[in-house]
Amino acid sequence: MNRGIYTLMVAQFLTAFADNAILFAAFAMLSEMASVGEWYKPALQGAFLLAFVVLAPWVGRFADRHAKRSVLTIGNAIKALGALLLMLNLEPLLAYAVVGIGAAVYGPAKYGILPELTGHKKLVKANALIEGSTIIAIVLGAVIGANIADQSISYALLLIVTAYLLSLVGSLLVPKTTSKTQPPTGSAIRHFGTMPGSRYFCESLFWASKPKQTAKLHATVYAFGAPTVLRTLRNHLFAALHNSLSDSTPT
C-alpha cells in the first residue's frame, strides 16, 4: 500500500468517527428540548438520508468531473459546517441535513479514488483496509460521542468539528489523481439509463442477461449496502443501550 491509501484511511476514519458521534450529540440536544415530540428523532435521521436520495443522480458525476481529493475536501467542509450550525443552536433538522449533504458528496469520491490510488490489482486489499477502519470508527464514534454528549454537548460538538477539520486536512494531503473515465455530458437524469453503473443495475435487475453485469451488481450492493446495514444496526443497538443505561438506577 502506498502513502496515499494510508492518508485516505486516516481521513476516512476521522470523518466516519464524526459522522456517528454527531448523531448522538444531536440526540442529546433533543433530550434538552422540551417542545420536541416523538416524531423528531426519526425526522432528524430522515433529513440526513434525504440528501442521498435527492443528490444521487449528481454527486457521482460531480466526483468524476473533478479531482476526487478536492471532492473529499468539499464534503468534509460541508459536514463541518453542519456541525457548526448545531453548535450555534440552529434548527437541528437543517443542521443535520447539511451534514447529510456533505456525506452524500463525500461518499462517491471515497470509493472512486481507490482504484486511482492503487490500480485494480490492490483494489480489494485497499477497500478492505478502508472499510475495516470505517467500522472501527463507527463503533468508537457512537461510544465516545454518546458518552461525551452525556457530559457536555458543547465539548462533543467541538470534538466532532475538530475531527471533520482534521479529516479535511487529511484529504488535502491525499495525492491528486486523474479519473480514467469521463462521465457523459448533459442532464444526469437524462443519461441515467446509459451510465455504466445504472445500466448494469437495470439489466441485472430486470433481465439478468449477462453474468458479468449481475456479478458487478452484487459486488456493488455488498460494498455499499454492508456499511449502511452496519450503521443502521449500530444506531439501534447503541440507542437502546444508551436509553437503558440512562433509565437504570443504582441499587
Domain assignment present for residue 196? The answer is no
- Give the lowest-confidence range in 70-79, 117-126, 205-214, 230-239: 205-214
Domain assignment present for residue 51? The answer is yes
Domain assignment present for residue 237? The answer is no
Kindly give the residue spans of alpha helices, DSSP state H, lying in 66-122: 68-87, 92-118
pLDDT in tens, 189-245: 444 444 444 443 344 444 444 445 445 444 544 454 555 555 555 555 555 555 555
Domain assignment present for residue 208? The answer is no
pLDDT in tens, 23-44: 999 989 988 887 777 888 888 8
Kindly give the residue spans of alpha helices, DSSP state H, lying in the chain: 3-31, 40-65, 68-87, 92-118, 123-151, 153-173, 196-202, 211-247
Domain assignment present for residue 200? The answer is no
Question: What is residue 203's predicted lDDT score, i.e. its pLDDT?
Answer: 42
Question: How is residue 203 annotated by DSSP?
Answer: I
* Closest to 223 measured CA to CA, from 213, 212, 211, 215: 215
Q: Which domain holds residue 91?
A: 3-175
Domain assignment present for residue 226? The answer is no
- Please tell me the distance from the alpha carbon of residue 229 to that of residue 231, in angstroms, as a whole number: 5
Domain assignment present for residue 184? The answer is no
Contact (CB, 8 A) for 141 and 20 = yes
- Assign 27 to helix, strand or coil: helix
- Please tell me the distance from the alpha carbon of residue 113 to that of residue 227, in angstroms, as a whole number: 18
- Please tell me the distance from the alpha carbon of residue 68 to that of residue 72, in angstroms, as a whole number: 6
Question: How is residue 194 annotated by DSSP?
Answer: G
Contact (CB, 8 A) for 99 and 16 = no
Q: Which set of grid coordinates corresponds to residue 157?
A: 460538538
Q: What average pLDDT score do residues 100-109 get?
A: 90
The CATH number of whichever domain residue 169 belongs to comes to 1.20.1250.20
Domain assignment present for residue 65? The answer is yes
Question: What is residue 237's predicted lDDT score, i.e. its pLDDT?
Answer: 58
Contact (CB, 8 A) for 213 and 197 = no
Q: How many domains does the chain divide into?
A: 1
pLDDT in tens, 135-189: 999 999 999 999 999 999 999 999 999 999 999 999 999 988 766 555 555 544 4
